[in-house]
Every structure is written in C-alpha cells, then in structure tokens.
C-alpha cells in the first residue's frame, strides 16, 4: 500500500535560503528547484539555469556512477551524493536496489571502513569519543536531532570479518541506516548513526598519520562500561522511545551489552538476533527443497561467536516448537570454534557458548584424525551434518575435502558461508556447487553472481540480516513497541520463509531477490508488529489497520514544494574571513 502522507502533499515551510539550502542534504533539490523556488529562496545564479525532474536527476547520477571503474569509487561517489541531496540519493538507491546495495552496503562498505580516514570528507552522524565523555548530553541536545527515532551504534571492534577498524567502523552504522530508509522506508531525518570511539588496537591505524579517530589503545573494562552507560543514559533522556541497534561489537561486548540493556529500552543486537532470523528463515525455506525436517537435521556451526550462537539459539527454539525436546534439539548442534568442537567442561567456554557444548560421552566413540582438539574435519566426518553454517570469517575453511565428505553423507547438503565481506566467506559458491556435483543448497552473507552448472543457473541467495532489520525497525516503530523480543525474530524468520520463492518451486531461489527488499521489509514488519501486540509489547490494533500503520511510517524519496516560513532569513553569502 502506498499512502501519500500529508507530509508529501503539503508544502514544506523553509527557514533558510541561498547556499544554506543547497548545502542541507535533507532539503537540497539541486537542479530540481523550480523557477519559483529559485526566486523565493535566492537560488538564481547559484545553480545553472537548467531544471530537471527527480527522474532525470537519477538518470544523470546513474550514468556517472556506472562510468566509474571500481565499487570503491562508486561508494565514495554515492556517499558524496548522500551528503549533498538525500532525496536524490534514496531515489537512485531504491530504483536500482540490487545494483546499489553491494556498493553502499556489504561488501564495499568494508573497504569504506578500512579506508575511512584516507577518504575523510564530510561528517555524517555523531562521533562520541571517550576523552569527551562529559559532553555526550550536550552533543545529543542539538535541535537537529529532535526527530531522531532510530540509532545504529558501533564501536568498530568487529567490522564485518575485518576486525578492529577504530573510527572507520562508522561506515557500518551509516550503511545500515541507509538500508533502514532504502528498504524499510524510514524517514532519513529520523535516523542517526553513532560511533563510540574508545580507541583501537589496530596497530596499522594507530601508526597511520592519516588516522582520524582517538589515537589510543582500545579502552576496556569498567571505563568502557561507564562510557557506554553514559551514552545509553543520555540517549534515554533525550529520546525515551528511540530504537537502538547495536552493530559490529566484538564477541566480548555484543551479548553482554544486549543483556544489559534489552529490558531497559527498545533495543537489539543485529549480529546476534537479526542474523539469527535471516539464517533461520533461510533454513526453513531450504527445508522445503531438501525435504529434511527439523527432527532429522544435524547442524554444524563454524564460528561459535555472536552470530553463530545467536543462530543456534533461534534454530534450537524452532526445533523445540516443532516437537523435539530441548535435550534432543541440543544434540543436533555441533558448534566449532577456534579450539575445535565445543565440548562440556572445555576451558574458556563462554556463557553464551555453554548451551551448545556437546557432552563428552556423545563424541567419545568418534573416529578422529588426531588426539588434540576435535577438528571441523572430525566433526563433519562423524556428525554427518545436513546443514553447515560459517560465521567464522575464515576464508577457505570450507575446503574441498571437507565439503566432499559432507556431500557424501547427505543428498542435498545445505551450506551457508555467511561471513562478510566477500574476502572472508568460508567458501566460494562456485566451488561448493562443483564439489557437490550441483547438489548443494547454498547461500552467502555477501552478494555473489549466479553459478552455472549442469545447464542450470544456481541463484546464490544473500542470507544477510538486511532481510530482517529494516522490517523489524519499521514494525516496532509503526506500532510503538516498547521492547524488542526474541519472539519478534522468530516471527520474522517465519515471515521470511513464508515469502520464499522456493515454497512454490524447488528450483527457485530460497529468498526473494534483493530488488524486492522493500516488500520484504513490509512482510517482516507486519509479522513483528503482530508479535509485539501478541506479547503485549504495544497497544492493541486490528490486523486490518496494520497496512495503514506501516504505510504511514514509510517515507518516500519525492520532492515537496517549498514555501517560505515566517521568519525566513537569507544567510549572508559572503563569509567574513
């Protein structure tokens, strides 16, 4: 449903004109300012005489972006466009979603983070640095942020699979929020990327004279916790109902922060919960194709960190819902981390890994290659998995022999190398298809082109949390949910599986194409909103009213007519240097 909100129909009253209007990305229309607007706002002469429609502007930028040689160049070009004219930026992105997503988001955003200081041009979002911790409330208080409803925050310690990028990690909240608008339809004036700069342990960044973050070893422990607490308290004070998404925190922090704050505000961790929902949703879709029910699944998770244990927890929950006892369901999981299979009593097991540690007796009679740790190879040979998920950021860890062993034991092996960016994927889909003689059902975290094999084109679905968080955000905000619950992610997973093209055709893709992420977001949002209501986390609403509630929350990149606000002032054009 497309609703033209009164926001879109009514003229917008504008306070400033001249250069100030052209340099405000939320208001700038560039060459699309009409003659009347140019006259009213003192724009004649500041712009060449040509006037264009939004569609023509999109076409012009599209030609320019396509002319560039690399996606890194395109990333910077599009960042500049976002800082120049957000309406045009989103009109371009939404009309060419599958082409633009790999540029503004994964995988190119990873390089953007690594080179953040090299190409620094213009600030977007808020940088909260530990040395200025006493200024947080003052920084947040600016009237520019009065309308903020959604914040994505990172401290840059685990940027995709690229490790600690210090302040470069700001690229991640910026990219995620671009998808909140492009896919979820949230108004960009209500979104805010935030970076918590607590230093970095990336020596290359510390040694780099161009590095623009706080040049200090990463602060940890009580000082870190107090800093995060100052941020959260200031944010609660400023925007009591804000949605806060934690993104790309390292393993030690991600779950701890989520548990600390999940009952205090509207918040979730995307790497733990969003990833779990997209992986579980994809698995549900894959089960249609493989015909293997939950009770017959044997699952190997490689990388028992935030994403791995988040995924395991949600799939376990679904297995129990499908009728397995909790103990039975647990036995289906084999979680492998850097020290091999997680087994009970293993030294160094983290709290969130404990539930997925196998009892020693369950693996006592396994045939193993060596006496040391129980390797991934031992696990695959003995556990005979039907599904193997990679969230380890270890490229090549799903090697030929391993995959061939897995494929020898099951008809349709499901293999998901979900680590990002492309360079960190556990395997290349082309290899997986070849090593399994085309039998594999595979999907990846980063985008890959389809693989041709045996006269058939294998579409490689992008099992990325981008299928979940824009809709989750839209859903909770549209109905005013007070908390984000695990049940919402379970509902999101089911909603994703319900729109899987593979439900109708086993040769079709598991997930709808990325071009349709706006529709996906609506489906996820509806499921999340209903779940919020069913769990008593928002006020009641009728199902029939939901499409309108969601549509009202959706902003579209169109230009509104501008008129002068009473008190309009023309900012002086001459800087008094």
Ligand X SMILES: O=C(O)C[C@H](O)C(=O)O
Active-site residue list: 105, 176
Alpha carbons 77 and 92: distance in angstroms, whole number: 12
521: part of which helix (H) or strand (E)?
helix 517-534
- CA-derived radius of gyration, the chain: 25
Rounded Cα gap, residues 264 and 5, in angstroms: 32
Please answer whether residues 173 and 500 qualify as being in contact, where contact means their C-beta atoms are separated by less than 8 angstroms: no
Residues 316-345 that bind Mg ion (CB under 5 A): none
Residues 6+ apart with CB under 8 A from 160: 106, 107, 109, 110, 113, 172, 248, 393, 419, 420, 421, 424
Give the C-alpha separation, 275 to 157, whole Å: 18
The site for ligand NAD, by CB under 6 A, has a size of: 30
CA distance 433 to 448: 13
**Minimum distance, C-beta of residue 229 to Mg ion, in the bound complex (Å):** 22
Strands (E), 2-68: 12-16
Site string for Mg ion, 255-294 (x = CB under 5 A): ----------------x-----------------------
With CB under 6 A as the contact rule, the residue among 86, 337, 426, 431 that binds ligand NAD is 337
The answer to whether residue 202 forms part of the interface with ligand X (CB under 6 A) is no
Concatenated DSSP letters for 270-296?
IIIIIHHHHHHHHHHHHHHHH---GGG
The owner of tokens 């940027």 is: 159
Q: With contacts defined by CB under 6 A, name the span among 292-300, 304-312, 318-326, 518-526 that binds ligand NAD.
A: 304-312
What's the sign of the alpha-carbon dihedral 92, 169, 249, 132?
negative
Pairing of strands 451-453, 441-444: unpaired
73 assigned to a ligand binding site: no
Q: What value, to the nearest 5°, has the Cα angle with vertex 450 and ends 446 and 456?
A: 150
The verdict on 426 binding Mg ion (CB under 5 A) reads no
Query: In angstroms, what CA-CA distances link 464 with 51, 105, 270, 451?
Result: 40, 11, 10, 19
Per the CB < 8 A criterion, the answer to whether 556 and 185 are in contact is yes
Q: Which of ligand NAD, ligand X, Mg ion, none has residue 393 at its interface (CB below 5 to 8 Å by kind)?
A: ligand NAD
Among 106, 129, 273, 463, binds ligand X (CB under 6 A): 106
**Contacts by 226-230 with C-beta closer than 8 Å and gap 24+?**
226/133, 227/130, 227/133, 227/196, 227/198, 228/196, 228/257, 230/133, 230/136
In angstroms, what is the minimal distance from the CB of 464 to ligand X? 5
CB of 276 to ligand NAD, least distance (A): 9
Of the pair 442, 465, the CB lying nearest ligand X is at 465
Q: Which of 86, 248, 378, 426 binds Mg ion (CB under 5 A)?
A: 248
Q: Give me 54's structure tokens.
A: 């939004």
Binding characters for ligand NAD, 74-93, by CB under 6 A (x = yes): --------------------
The minimum distance between CB 509 and ligand NAD, in angstroms, equals 16
Binding of ligand NAD at residue 486 (CB under 6 A)?
no
**Residue 408 interacts with which of ligand NAD, Mg ion, ligand X, none, CB < 5 to 8 Å by class:** none
Site string for ligand X, 391-430 (x = CB under 6 A): -----------------------------x----------
In whole angstroms, the minimum distance from the beta carbon of 168 to ligand X comes to 14
As beta bridge partners, residue 461 has: 443
Residue with smaller CB distance to ligand X, 305 or 413: 305
Closest residue to ligand NAD using C-beta atoms: 305
* Of the candidate residues 418, 433, 460, 496, the single one contacting ligand NAD (CB under 6 A): 418
The answer to whether 420 is annotated as binding is yes
How many other β-carbons are positioned within 10 Å of the β-carbon of residue 375? 17
User: Any binding-site annotation on 248?
Assistant: yes
Contact call for residue 271 and ligand X (CB under 6 A): yes
The least CB distance from residue 372 to ligand NAD, in Å, is 14
Instruction: Give the residue carrying structure tokens 């984000």.
Output: 484
Q: Which is nearer to ligand X, 149 or 270 (CB)?
A: 270
**CB 113, min distance to ligand X, A:** 10
CB closer to ligand X out of 190 and 465? 465
Residue 205 labelled as part of a binding site:
no
Judged by CB under 6 A, the chain residues 424 through 463 that form the site for ligand NAD are: 424, 445, 463
Which one of residues 91, 301, 391, 524 is an interface residue with ligand NAD (CB under 6 A)? 391
Residues 159-218 that bind ligand NAD (CB under 6 A): 160-161
Please state, in angstroms and rounded to a whole number, the distance separating the CA atoms of residues 75 and 336: 35
User: Token pair of 107, please?
Assistant: 């995988």
Taking CB under 6 A as the binding criterion, the range among 3-11, 47-55, 305-313, 498-506 that sits at the site for ligand NAD is 305-313
- 42 HSE (CA, 13 A, CB side): 15
* Nearest one of 320, 318, 316, 385 to 354, comparing CA atoms: 316
Residues that bind Mg ion (CB under 5 A): 248, 271
Residues that bind ligand NAD (CB under 6 A): 158, 160-161, 251, 271, 275, 278, 302-308, 336-338, 391-394, 397, 418-420, 424, 445, 463-465
Residues that bind ligand X (CB under 6 A): 106, 160, 248, 270-271, 420, 445, 464-465
Q: Return binding residues.
A: 158, 247-248, 271, 420, 464
């Amino acid at each position: 449903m497309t609703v033209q909100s009164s926001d879109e129909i009514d003229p917008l009253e504008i306070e400033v004109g001249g250069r100030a209007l052209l340099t405000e990305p939320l208001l700038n229309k560039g060459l699309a300012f009409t003659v009347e607007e140019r006259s009213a706002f003192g724009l004649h002469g500041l712009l060449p005489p040509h006037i264009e429609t939004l569609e023509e502007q999109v076409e012009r930028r599209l030609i320019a972006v396509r002319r560039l040689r690399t996606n890194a160049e395109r990333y910077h070009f599009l960042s500049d466009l976002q800082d120049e004219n957000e309406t045009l930026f989103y009109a371009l992105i939404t009309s060419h979603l599958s082409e633009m997503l790999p540029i503004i988001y994964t995988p190119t955003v990873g390089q953007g983070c690594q080179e953040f200081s090299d190409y620094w041009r213009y600030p977007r979002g808020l940088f909260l640095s530990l040395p200025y911790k006493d200024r947080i409330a003052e920084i947040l208080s600016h009237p520019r942020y009065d309308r903020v409803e959604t914040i994505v925050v990172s401290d840059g310690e685990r940027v995709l699979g690229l490790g600690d990028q210090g302040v470069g990690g700001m690229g991640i909240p910026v990219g995620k929020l671009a998808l909140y608008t492009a896919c979820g339809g949230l108004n960009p004036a209500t979104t805010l990327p935030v970076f918590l700069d607590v230093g970095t342990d990336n020596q290359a960044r510390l040694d780099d004279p161009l590095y623009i973050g706080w040049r200090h070893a990463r602060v940890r422990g009580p000082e870190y916790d107090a800093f995060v607490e100052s941020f959260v308290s200031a944010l609660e004070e400023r925007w009591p109902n804000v949605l806060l998404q934690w993104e790309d925190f390292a393993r030690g922090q991600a779950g701890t922060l989520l548990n600390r704050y999940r009952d205090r505000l509207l918040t979730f961790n995307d790497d733990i919960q969003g990833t779990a929902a997209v992986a579980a949703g994809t698995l549900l879709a894959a089960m249609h194709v493989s015909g293997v029910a939950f009770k017959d699944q044997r699952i190997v998770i490689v990388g028992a960190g935030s994403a791995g244990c988040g995924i395991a927890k949600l799939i376990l929950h679904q297995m129990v819902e499908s009728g397995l006892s909790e103990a039975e369901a647990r036995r289906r999981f084999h979680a492998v981390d850097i020290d091999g299979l997680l087994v009970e009593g293993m030294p160094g097991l983290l709290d969130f890994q404990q539930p997925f540690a196998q009892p020693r007796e369950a693996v006592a009679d396994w045939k193993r290659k060596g006496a040391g740790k129980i390797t991934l190879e031992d696990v695959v040979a003995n556990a005979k998995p039907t599904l193997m998920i990679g969230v380890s950021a270890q490229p090549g860890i799903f090697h030929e022999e391993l995959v061939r062993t897995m494929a020898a034991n099951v008809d349709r092996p499901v293999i998901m190398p979900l680590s990002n960016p492309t360079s960190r994927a556990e395997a290349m889909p082309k290899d997986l298809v070849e090593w399994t003689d085309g039998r594999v059902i595979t999907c990846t975290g980063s985008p890959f082109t389809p693989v041709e094999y045996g006269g058939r084109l294998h579409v490689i679905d992008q099992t990325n949390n981008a299928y979940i968080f824009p809709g989750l955000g839209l859903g909770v905000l549209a109905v005013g949910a007070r908390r984000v619950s695990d049940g919402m992610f379970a509902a999101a997973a089911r909603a994703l599986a319900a729109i899987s093209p593979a439900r109708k055709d086993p040769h079709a893709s598991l997930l709808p194409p990325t071009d349709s992420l706006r529709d996906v977001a609506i489906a996820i949002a509806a499921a999340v909103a209903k779940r919020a209501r069913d769990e008593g986390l928002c006020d009641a609403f009728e199902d029939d009213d939901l499409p309108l509630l969601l549509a009202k929350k959706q902003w579209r990149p169109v230009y509104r007519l501008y008129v002068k606000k009473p008190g309009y002032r023309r900012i002086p054009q001459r800087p008094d240097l």
